[in-house]
Chains A and B, each alone.
Chain A
């Protein structure tokens, strides 16, 4: 039973990996679009207790290589309890930049802060930029041409982790490389359904037409993902501008990472339920009939694998304990087999699917690094990312599911 399950999962993993590899080998071969007209752009920076990072973030927006007469930056200080307000006031006083506005308001959550910005935004395009991120200088120039027609609702960019130092940050560095790569492939086949806080650009008119960011139903869990799903439900495309890369700070310890991911996964669950009508819906093409079911299937695999794995680990630990404590057996008694016996002893039923899945994963790992012009190396962090991190993610998913079932409350940070 277990082996049949493992082979099925392995076949599915291999099938999906091969599919993405095939997609990655088909370049769009399109000419990189160039900006021929400076549209008015509003970038909103929602901030809550960001005294340490907000100036760096603002500086990167000031450094944008873009006509400042066509740029508006709105910082919404969403009831910070630290010195964010004072830091911002000092910065404005020192710099006297007309195109930057600061709005101080009571805490409403990230979606509420974005809606405040949306209400007064003058720009034709609306950027969402987290207060712990750094934009590349040409971000707007590279991203805006992607709005080639009215059906393009949003444009995002790949994200890299800024200055990773701790192991947790380094793991996320690989994770972001990987997700940027998969997002590129999703964008290429028209199934991208994610916008993020590291400079996502939207058509302002479309955002207003759709009623702005959801600050009620979504309980501030993942308003960016909710907006992306709403755009897709209303048949707007989301594209990834692969020529531009922005940077973000990521949690530097497991605890912070854990709660961030649990919040994200809860957002996925909440929005998955909210947009369940898109599943297998032919009106939503490949997104409805392939991408979303694939993500749900992945979730089911995660949960069942965790169950099976937990059972196997428990069983092995129990047997080990029996051997050591009850039977006082010589646990280090090892018969060194001959090469022939070693080969014949390989449990191919488990070995083959494991190796196949691992090879496919490694290949994707390498081409994902190439895609973002990063050197790939296989070191301890890669090992943790490939083998241990999936287990941590499984536990985060279970934690998120439990919290959702219990109806626990959550703030955006």
Chain B
């Protein structure tokens, strides 16, 4: 009467494992596409940044007006960086494999951010550009406050057009990040550095932040 055979268990395992292997391979391929996409974005950002820098050097050498560079481009570069950061964070959260590749890209991204930060500071000092800039130090390890602060900054970004936000994973193992953390004595997440020197520890509401930015830029 019974139709059971032991090979049914083995067949079921082989089929299930094969389906999962296919799933794993598709996931792996999707990861590769994501890494390629993020690499392309980072390279494009680097190139745009280099182009901006080179133009600045050109004006430095050949023109009396050092600040003749197109100022709107600094905002554009800032927006590009923010988009890159968002894409990278999204992709990183969805990764199946390739942890090292993602870490490499994140390193590259944080370096680009600091490079941009330096460039912005130099322009602000020399040319008096006064668009606000915020350094946002967050923690990825299930920190609800960092998440909420992220929402606040997203919301603020939509309301303050020229606001530039540069995000750093406070615990990321990269000397650039460590330097910043040490320089600004970052102890907790979230921490915000507004316009280079105003430090705010802990979560800040949107209204409060709006007031601070307004006060800083007037």
Shortest Cβ distance from A292 into chain B, in angstroms? 15
Q: How far is the CA of A23 from the CA of B12 in the complex (A)?
A: 10
Nearest-Cβ distance from residue A341 to partner chain B, whole angstroms:
9
The tally of CB-CB contacts under 8 A between chains A and B is: 96
A327-B155, A348-B30 known; A22-B8 Cβ under 8 A: yes
A334-392 contacts to B, CB under 8 A, are 340, 343-349, 352-353, 356
B155 to chain A minimum Cβ distance, whole angstroms, is 5
B4 adjacent to A344 (CB under 8 Å): no
Give A16 to B13 CA distance when docked, in angstroms.
Answer: 9
Docked Cα-Cα span, A333 to B159, in Å, equals 13
Of A130-138, A276-284, A318-326, A402-410, the one contacting chain B is: A318-326
Q: Counting CB contacts under 8 A, is A286 at the interface?
A: yes
What bracket does the count of chain B residues touching chain A fall in? 35 or more
Q: Known contacts A22-B11, A190-B2, A352-B27; is A14 also within 8 Å of B19 by CB?
A: yes
Binary interface profile of A, 12-38, with partner B (CB < 8 Å = 1, else 0)?
001110110011001110100000000
- Asked whether B19 lies within 8 Å of A356 as measured between CB atoms, the reply is yes
For residue B23, which residues in chain A have a CB less than 8 angstroms away from its CB? 348, 352-353, 356
Tell me whether B27 and A26 are in contact (CB under 8 A). Answer: no
Q: Does A308 contact B (CB under 8 A)?
A: no
Contact of B8 among A23, A323, A333 (CB under 8 A): A23
Interface assignment of B1: CB less than 8 Å from any CB of chain A: yes
Known A344-B91, A347-B94, A356-B19; contact A15-B151, beta-carbon cutoff 8 A: no
Q: Is B37 an interface residue (CB 8 A)?
A: yes
**Distance from B152 Cβ to chain A, minimum over Cβ atoms (Å):** 6
- Give 1 or 0 for each of B69-113: 1 = CB within 8 Å of chain A CB: 000000000000000000000110110100000000000000000
Q: Is the CB of A330 within 8 A of B147?
A: no
Interface assignment of B48: CB less than 8 Å from any CB of chain A: no
Is the Cβ of B96 less than 8 Å from the Cβ of A349? yes
Q: Is the CB of B155 within 8 A of A329?
A: yes
Q: Within the assembled complex, what's the spacing in Å between the Cα atoms of A245 and B144?
A: 55
In whole Å, how far is B124's beta carbon from the nearest beta carbon of chain A?
29
Contact between chains at B96 and A11 (CB < 8 Å): no
B94 touches A348 (CB 8 A): yes
**Is the interface on chain A under 10, 10 to 19, 20 to 34, or 35 or more residues?**
35 or more
| Alpha-carbon distance between A348 and B148 when the two chains are bound, in angstroms | 25
A205 CB → nearest B CB, Å? 21
Q: Please indicate which of the listed interface residues B12, B27, B91 has the most CB atoms of chain A within 10 Å of its own CB.
A: B12
CB of B205 within 8 A of chain A?
A: yes
Contact A189 B91 (CB under 8 A): no
0 or 1 for each of B1-36: is its CB under 8 Å from A? (1 = yes): 111110011011101100110010011001001100
On whether A189 and B16 interact (CB within 8 A), knowing A322-B148, A322-B151, A327-B155, the answer reads: no
* B206 CB within 8 Å of chain A: yes
Could you tell me the distance between the alpha carbons of A344 and B88 in the complex, rounded to whole angstroms? 11
Whether A14 contacts B4 by the Cβ 8 Å rule is: no
Query: Taking the complex as formed, is A239 at the interface, i.e. its CB lies under 8 A from any CB of chain B?
Result: yes
CB contacts (< 8 Å) of A326 on chain B: these are 148, 205
- Decide: A349 near B19, CB < 8 A? Known: A15-B13, A19-B9, A188-B2: no
- How far apart are the CA atoms of A333 and B155 in the complex, in Å? 10
A397 and B123 CA atoms in complex are apart in Å by: 65
Tell me, in angstroms, the Cα distance from A237 to B90 when the chains sit together: 55
A residues 119-150 in Cβ contact with B at 8 Å: 148
- Name A6-62 residues within 8 Å CB distance of B: 7, 11, 14-16, 18-19, 22-23, 26-28, 30
Task: Name the B residues within 8 Å of A23 (CB-CB).
Answer: 3-4, 8
Known: A18-B15, A18-B16. A327 touches B3 (CB 8 A): no
Question: Residue on A with the closest CB to B7?
Answer: A22
Inter-subunit contact B91/A329 (CB<8 Å)? no
Residue of B nearest to A191 (CB): B4
Residues from chain B with a CB closer than 8 A to the CB of A318 are: 144
A346 touches B16 (CB 8 A): no
* Contact A349 B205, CB 8 Å, known A14-B19, A190-B2: no
Which residues of A sit under 8 angstroms from B30, Cβ to Cβ? 343-344, 346, 348
Contacts of A18 in B (CB 8 A): 11-12, 15-16
Residues of B within 8 A of A330 (CB): 155, 158
Is A329 a contact partner of B151 (Cβ separation < 8 A)? Answer: yes
Contacts of A340 in B (CB 8 A): 37
Chain A residue at minimal CB-CB distance from B86: A335
The smallest C-beta distance from A105 to any residue of chain B, in angstroms, reads: 39
- Bound together, the chains give a CA A187 to CA B23 distance in angstroms of 33
Q: Which residue of B lies closest to A348 (CB)?
A: B27
Cβ-defined contact, B1 with A30, below 8 A? yes
Q: Which of B19, B158, B205 has the most CB of A within 10 A?
A: B19
Q: Contacts of A190 on B, CB cut-off 8 Å?
A: 1-2, 4
Q: Is the CB of B20 within 8 A of A333?
A: no
CA distance A349 to B20 in the complex (A): 11
B-chain residues with CB within 8 Å of residue A28 when the two chains form the complex = 1, 3
B→A interface (CB under 8 Å): 1-5, 8-9, 11-13, 15-16, 19-20, 23, 26-27, 30, 33-34, 37, 90-91, 93-94, 96, 144, 147-148, 151-152, 154-155, 158, 205-206
Q: List 6 A-B contacts (CB under 8 A).
A: A22-B8, A22-B12, A26-B3, A319-B148, A329-B151, A353-B23
Listed from nearest, the 3 A-B pairs whose CB atoms lie closest are: A19-B12, A189-B4, A15-B16
Name A residues whose Cβ lies closer than 8 Å to a Cβ of B: 7, 11, 14-16, 18-19, 22-23, 26-28, 30, 148, 188-190, 239, 286, 318-319, 322-323, 326-330, 333, 340, 343-349, 352-353, 356
Q: A189-B3, A348-B26 are known contacts; what are 11 more A-B pairs with Cβ within 8 Å?
A: A14-B19, A15-B16, A16-B12, A18-B16, A26-B3, A28-B1, A327-B148, A327-B151, A343-B30, A349-B94, A353-B23
